[in-house]
Structure 1
Amino acid sequence: MPLSVLAFVLSIGTASADTVIPLEEKDIGRTGGNDLERCLRGDATCDDGGVDFTLDDVINLGIVDHEEVAETPASESDTPRNRTDPLPSVDLNVVFDYKSTDIRPDQMGQLLDLAQVLRGEDFANVILVFMGHTDAKGSESYNLDLSRRRAESVAAFVGDVADIPNHRIRTKGFGFSQLADPANPLSERNRRVQLLLIPGGA
C-alpha cells in the first residue's frame, strides 16, 4: 500500500455512526471473473437500482469532452459502443458517518478490492467517473455538495491505491436528483457512490 494511502488510513481513525449506508453483499474477491469485474467490463447486466448513463449523457453533462473519448474500442476484444447504450457501472454502497465524507476503516476492504480490479490491463485506458448520490433528506444545495465531496473522497482513495492518474478520474455530485429508489426518497439505497466506466478514454 502506498505510503500516502497508509497515512490516510491511519488519520481517519474510528467514529460512531449516526446514519449509515449498509454494504450490499457482492462478490468482490481479488480473483478475476468476480461479479464486480463482470459489471465493470459490461459483460453482465448488473441492476443495483442505480441510474443508467450513456456516453451522450456524460458528454452533455460536461463530465468528459468529445476529444477525450477514443474513437476506437478500449481493446481488440471490445466492440464499438453506441453513444446511447448504457455505460458499464456499479453502485458502491459505502458507509459514511453522519454528515461525514471520510471513508471509514471498515469500508476500505470493498474499495481496496475495487482498486485491485481496476489495476488490470483491461481497465488501463478507461475514464473512471465517480458520481455521488444522496437521499432526499435536507436541502438541495446541501445534498449536492455532500454528494460531490463523498464522490471525491472515494475517487481519491481508489485512485491512489490503484495508481490511476488524475487525468483519468472524474467526479460529480448529483445530490438527490438521480434517486435509485424514487418511490422511497429517504431510502438508504439512494445514498451511494456510482462508478461509471467510459471505455476507450484517451
Structure 2
Amino acid sequence: GLPQYFKFDLNAMPSEKMAQFVFITNIKLAEGGEDLRSKLLKDGKFSTTGILFDSGSDKIKPESYGTLKKIADALQQESGMNIMIIGHTDADGNDSSNLELSKNRATSVMNALTNEFGIAGDRLKTDGKGESDPVADNNTTQGKAQNRRVDFIKI
C-alpha cells in the first residue's frame, strides 16, 4: 500500500525559531503503476481517475498533466494505435447535463492530446457516457471519485 508518512528534510534553514518553521500542505499522491502502452496493447483499454476537471466543467486541472503525458507517450510509441476517449461522470446533477459534460470532457482530453502533445487528431475519437456506466457506489464520496473517470479504448 501507500506509505503512512513522509519526512521532508529542509537543510540550511537559518534557525529553529517558531516564526521560521515551514509548513507544507495539500500534498497529492499520484499512483504510478503499469506502463500504459503495455496495458493498452494487452487489455485494449485503460481507465483513469488521474485526469481531473474543475467541478461541473470540462476545464482540465493542471495536476492532470502527468497522466496526459503518459497517454501521449503511449500513443507516440504506438503510432498505429487509435483511441476512443470516453468521459464518465458521477451521478450528481441532471442526467442529460452529465451526458453533455462527459462528452465535453472527452473532447477536452482529445484537444489536450492534439494541441499540447502533438497527437494527430484523426487517431482520436470521443464519446461520453455521463453517469450511465458507474464502476462504484454513487452514494459515497470515494465511489463518486471512481466514477468520475476517463476511459481510453483501442479502436
Match runs of 1:1-202 below 5 Å: 25-27=31-33, 34-42=34-42, 88-93=44-49, 94-120=51-77, 123-181=78-136, 184-186=137-139, 187=143, 188-198=145-155
Distance in 2 (CA, whole Å) between partners of 1:179 and 1:173 is 12
Distance 1:138 1:23 in 2: 28
Contact 1:132 1:151 (C-alpha < 8 Å) held by counterparts = yes
Bigger radius of gyration = 2
Structure 1 residue runs of 5 or longer lacking an equivalent are 1-21, 28-33, 46-87
CA offset at residue 114 of structure 1?
1.8
Residue type matched to 1:197 in 2? Answer: K
Residue identity opposite 1:163 in structure 2: G
**TM-score normalized with structure 2 length:** 0.71
Give the Cα–Cα distance (whole angstroms) in 2 for the partners of residues 176 and 151 of structure 1: 14
Structure-2 separation of matches of 1:166 and 1:102:
19
- Which residue number corresponds to residue 57 of structure 1? none
Structure 1 residue matching 2:80: 3-state secondary structure: coil
Q: Please, what TM-score do these two structures have when normalized by structure 1?
A: 0.56
Instruction: Please report the RMSD computed on the Cα atoms of aligned residues, expressed in angstroms.
Output: 1.9
Q: Distance in 1 between matches of 2:100 and 2:32?
A: 28
Deviations 1:88-122 (CA, angstroms, capped at 9, x unpaired): 111121121211211111211221122112101xx
Identity %: 33
1:138-191, CA deviations, whole angstroms, 9 ceiling, x for partnerless residues?
Answer: 11101001100111111111233442222221000100111112xx12421000
| Residue 193 to residue 37, structure 1, CA distance change in 2 (3 Å) | same
Contact 1:119 1:162 in 2 (8 A): no
Q: 1:24 to 1:176 in 2, by over 3 A?
A: farther
